[in-house]
């Protein structure tokens, strides 16, 4: 046809899927500080590199996460 063209992706929008770590948290953008890959941007776990001596802080973050999940479950249950 004269004056017409088609595009396979026409009308479709790409959806961004926020990647998750194996531990279940959302991956965060980080910047490398190594000599081999200086300033390289990558996605990584938000818990990576957390000081293991900071047990209290980690427990507080986990409790907040658990609370959010409990509210989410309650909301989904009440919606049924």
- Is it the case that residue 1 has pLDDT exceeding 50? no
Task: With beta carbons less than 8 A apart as the criterion, state whether 46 and 28 touch.
Answer: yes
Number of neighbours of residue 30 by Cβ within 10 angstroms: 15
* Token pair 């989410």: residue: 72
Q: What is the pLDDT of residue 79?
A: 85
CB within 8 Å of 19: residues ≥ 6 apart: 26, 27, 43
State the pLDDT at residue 13.
73
Q: Tell me the per-residue pLDDT of 17-76, one tens digit each, with 9 for 90 and over.
A: 888 888 888 888 888 888 888 889 988 888 777 666 677 777 888 899 999 999 899 888
pTM above 0.75, yes or no: no
Q: Alpha helices, DSSP H only, in the chain?
A: 55-79
* pLDDT tops 80 at residue 7: no
Tell me the residue ranges of DSSP E strands in the chain: 28-31, 41-44
């Amino acid at each position: 046809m004269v004056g017409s063209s088609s595009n396979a992706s026409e009308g479709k929008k790409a959806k961004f899927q926020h990647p998750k770590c194996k531990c279940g948290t959302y991956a965060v953008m980080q910047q490398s500080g190594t000599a081999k890959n200086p300033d390289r941007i990558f996605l990584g776990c938000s818990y990576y590199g957390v000081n293991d001596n900071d047990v209290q802080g980690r427990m507080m973050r986990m409790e907040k996460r658990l609370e959010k999940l409990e509210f989410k479950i309650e909301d989904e249950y009440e919606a049924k």
